[in-house]
Structure 1
Amino acid sequence: MSSSTVAGAAAEPVTDPAYAAADDLCDAVLGSLRRKDQREKGRQYVRGLLALPGRKSMRGIAGQVGGGPAEQSTHHFISGSTWDWEPIREALAGYLEATTPLTAWVAQPMAIPKGGEHSVGVAHRFDPHLGQMFRGQRAFGTWFASPGLVTPVGWRMFLPDAEADALGAPCAYEEAAYAESAAAAVLDTVRRGAGAPRPVVLDIHRIGTRSTMNRFAEARVPVIARVDPATPLLVTDPALTGHGAGPRSAREVLRSVRGLCTPVEWADPDPAHPGGRHRSTLAVAVRVTMPDPSPARRRHLLLVGEWTDPRRAPSQLWVTDLVRLPVGPLLRLTKQGLRVGSAAERSGREAGLRDFAGRTLPGWHRHVTLASVAHAARALTA
């Protein structure tokens, strides 16, 4: 089928450059599918995601390539087949790294509203990122962020009971399982990257714990992570208030150095303004460490605070092992999360990242992997 026509509508010329980009991407990343008919089915699925307006149901995607009989084969390809999605994700990340310079990996949660009780991962629980009760599935996406694009390359669904059990903790300690799942999701993706290590932005509520920071340090992956205002920290700069005074909360540490803030300019993503809308907020970075029974295991960190209103408490708190970077580049690095959030809402809907209607975990992984390919095709031609 020619790349100048939409699957199932050969008479209509295609003007959207994303279709040609999708064909190139599929040629590059679907090579792990052993059979030619599987590779063609994958390409048709990606093109169907791009062509179909609104919600991306399997029936609608199959309708792009022939309707009734195609629906059954499409369903089998996604939910009943045995092909492995991991090599496709690895190939997609490699393609992007060879195409555009990577700035950072960004990990963000994705809430997938869903009723019923039979789909994998569906639960009615408190979502720490949303700050409210939520019914549906919760997943973590690892996004490739470069100066020119942001697009997802790795996924993990959070399975609360199973992950809490794996940690040896009851569901009352689900927050620890949530952080563990998020860290595992991004490290699985980053370790497969071909280039030099790039920073990871953990744009996930209260993930900057001692165990998370230690895990990334042991993996030799630099990281900046959101931290709970109540997290106890030790001030290690002898020139600052609180040095030698024992653990203090992150909020309290930043309150004591608010007078040292400097303005930092950054770009707020806005589709109506190419390059983003320029903004300026106040920020400060403080040398700290996290308390540990063994002083030898305490890692040197920076606590970064941002204020949108200097009369109030800091609006954002981050902790990082990128201790040689000034506060300006650190704060701008955290803003990669805004770019990802904007893309997840806008182009994520266009690619169908949340639209899998099946019940199985392998089916969800295959759908969201091909939806990531569709998203990348759209991002590369935006």
Structure 2
Amino acid sequence: MRLVREEQMGHRVPESAVGALCAELFAPLPRSDQRRKGELYVRGLLSAGGRKSIRNIAACVGDRAAEQSLHHFISSSTWDWGLVREALALRLERSLRPRAWVAQSVVIPKAGQHTVGVERRFVPSLGQVVNSQQVFGIWAANDELSAPVNWRLMLSGQDVREAADGHEELVSGRAGAGLPVTPLECVAGAALEAQSWVGGRPRPVVMDLPDSEPAAVARRFEAARLPFLASVHGSTRVLPAASALPGSGRAAAAVPVLPGHDSRELSADQLLRMLRTLRRPVTWTDPGTMAVRTSLVAAVPVRLPGTRRPLLLLGEWTGPGVRPQQCWITDLSTVPWGGLLRLAKLTQRVGRDFAGISTQVGMVDFEGRSFEGWHRHTTLASGAHAVQALSGVQRRTAARTLPGARTASARVGAPALAGVCAAQPEARPA
């Protein structure tokens, strides 16, 4: 069997797998030359060494004369990337059967100011201000695998004016991008669009938006009619349900009231510390090592100041301290605590797959001023990611079926929220 040349990947991708997925992804494109160039580009992303520039891709597929043609295909052509993303989402729906949409924020350092979306911004992980893009991906994810299906690029100033010039459909989002101006709108818009592609029961959106007010997140996803689970700071102010506090009111009375706040408000940390006797052990699988780990969790009904919608505050303890290591707010109030924690841990699955697959197929390599070009390149890189990831699943599945192979404890393809809502019975507070 012929194989796509592979230098950086963890395994080699059968050429037949590339052809089969590309035939499905590009079937909605009306022109045969667009379908052919789309497949050529995906093959180049999978095979080219180093940075996945159009020049390197053209050289890798054996046709340097194709460089100008591929450049036009990415930056100036008329094909609708939204159709390809929809086809990708539907394929992953069948092959992956995801449990959640996971929102991932990525800051991509860039040299100079010549790439669309680049501006100077502070990057906490680097501790400095750098020229960079900020992009948001929506990933279909289960415990064993994740793949991106939709993207948004943060724009401001001149980039917004250039992208919108003569393209009213981009402003309205009809072409599958829109011009969002906040991280919350990036994530909500991309998740809502992804859900519209696959239909069916709304899938929870798992996210970490540290610069967005939790109340604004709750209101936006209520309006979108999408369930959510969002990481929040321990300092987030919450209003516990009257029945949530321990029997004695002395602990609550000892909490200082901040000026301008409701006397019933507590920080998430304060409330969870008061309820730490309710903690229960929950197991989850580390996506890096596939080792089973155990955390202590507790959850309590709350409201966010300025909202009326009942929510659940979830805390996780990974050490002996009284303070939770992480907190989340969710409207999935009927899901067992263990199921909620395992949903939250899908962000680690996405982070690992982004580093191990997406960056290797050129997801962060686009250079150029074209807003549409960035979306087309990112769409094709998402297709290349899917080829690589799904062929890896097939390879592991085949290995498991060999005589004497150990049966996997985690099954790829758990239905949305199955395994979450149907997790092992777990203790709850009375």
> What is the TM-score of this pair, normalised by structure 1?
0.86
One-letter amino acid of the counterpart of residue 338, structure 2: G
Contact 1:53 1:350 in 2 (8 A): no
Determine the C-alpha separation between the residues in 2 that align with 1:17 and 1:5. Answer: 6
Distance change in 2, residues 1:30/1:164 (3 Å): closer
Which string of whole-angstrom CA distances, capped at 9 and with x for unpartnered residues, describes residues 276-313 of structure 1? 11111221111101122xxxx51111111112223253
2:333 matched residue in structure 1:
323
Determine the C-alpha separation between the residues in 1 that align with 2:204 and 2:242. Answer: 24
Determine the C-alpha separation between the residues in 1 that align with 2:188 and 2:125. Answer: 15
Deviation at 1:194, TM superposition (A): 2.7
Contact 1:289 1:298 in 2 (8 A): yes
Deviation at 1:20, TM superposition (A): 2.1
Deviation at 1:160, TM superposition (A): 4.4
Q: 1:287 aligns with which of 293, 301, 305?
A: 301
Matches within 5 A, 1:109-120: 109-120=105-116
Determine the C-alpha separation between the residues in 2 that align with 1:6 and 1:163. Answer: 37
Determine the C-alpha separation between the residues in 1 that align with 2:186 and 2:58. Answer: 33
2:343 is equivalent to residue 338 of structure 1 = no
Determine the C-alpha separation between the residues in 2 that align with 1:163 and 1:184. Answer: 19
Determine the C-alpha separation between the residues in 1 that align with 2:102 and 2:158. Answer: 25
Determine the C-alpha separation between the residues in 1 that align with 2:12 and 2:378. Answer: 22
2:39 matched residue in structure 1:
43
Matches within 5 A, 1:64-213: 64-127=60-123, 133-161=129-157, 177-207=182-212, 209-213=214-218
Deviation at 1:50, TM superposition (A): 0.7
Determine the C-alpha separation between the residues in 1 that align with 2:208 and 2:38. Answer: 31
More divergent stretch after superposition (113-122 vs 136-145): 113-122
Determine the C-alpha separation between the residues in 1 that align with 2:314 and 2:127. Answer: 22
Matches within 5 A, 1:243-282: 245-270=263-288, 273=289, 276-282=290-296
1:299 matched residue in structure 2:
309
Q: Give 3-state SS (helix, strand or coil) of 2:291's partner.
A: strand
More divergent stretch after superposition (156-165 vs 214-223): 156-165
Contact 1:112 1:137 in 2 (8 A): yes
Q: Give 3-state SS (helix, strand or coil) of 1:17's partner.
A: coil
One-letter amino acid of the counterpart of residue 95, structure 2: T
Q: Give 3-state SS (helix, strand or coil) of 1:192's partner.
A: helix
Q: 1:28 aligns with which of 10, 24, 30?
A: 24
2:407 matched residue in structure 1:
none
Determine the C-alpha separation between the residues in 2 that align with 1:206 and 1:288. Answer: 21
2:409 matched residue in structure 1:
none
Q: Give 3-state SS (helix, strand or coil) of 1:287's partner.
A: strand
Contact 1:208 1:226 in 2 (8 A): no
Determine the C-alpha separation between the residues in 2 that align with 1:142 and 1:279. Answer: 26
**Count of aligned residue pairs for this structure pair:** 356
One-letter amino acid of the counterpart of residue 229, structure 1: G
Contact 1:21 1:377 in 2 (8 A): yes
Deviation at 1:25, TM superposition (A): 1.2
1:234 matched residue in structure 2:
239
Deviation at 1:86, TM superposition (A): 0.5
Deviation at 1:116, TM superposition (A): 0.9
2:2 matched residue in structure 1:
4
Determine the C-alpha separation between the residues in 2 that align with 1:53 and 1:36. Answer: 27
Greater strand percent: which structure?
1
Determine the C-alpha separation between the residues in 1 that align with 2:193 and 2:363. Answer: 20
2:318 is equivalent to residue 308 of structure 1 = yes
Determine the C-alpha separation between the residues in 2 that align with 1:198 and 1:131. Answer: 35
Deviation at 1:99, TM superposition (A): 2.3
Determine the C-alpha separation between the residues in 1 that align with 2:106 and 2:146. Answer: 15
One-letter amino acid of the counterpart of residue 258, structure 1: R
Distance change in 2, residues 1:279/1:202 (3 Å): same
Contact 1:22 1:47 in 2 (8 A): yes
One-letter amino acid of the counterpart of residue 320, structure 2: P
Determine the C-alpha separation between the residues in 2 that align with 1:305 and 1:125. Answer: 31
Determine the C-alpha separation between the residues in 1 that align with 2:159 and 2:337. Answer: 35
Unaligned runs of 5+ in 1: 8-14, 167-175
Distance change in 2, residues 1:179/1:203 (3 Å): same
Q: Give 3-state SS (helix, strand or coil) of 1:322's partner.
A: coil
One-letter amino acid of the counterpart of residue 271, structure 2: V
% same residue: 45
Determine the C-alpha separation between the residues in 1 that align with 2:238 and 2:129. Answer: 30
Contact 1:216 1:223 in 2 (8 A): yes
Which string of whole-angstrom CA distances, capped at 9 and with x for unpartnered residues, describes residues 245-265 of structure 1? 522222222222223222211
Determine the C-alpha separation between the residues in 1 that align with 2:297 and 2:108. Answer: 33
2:213 is equivalent to residue 215 of structure 1 = no
Deviation at 1:53, TM superposition (A): 2.4
> What is the TM-score of this pair, normalised by structure 2?
0.77
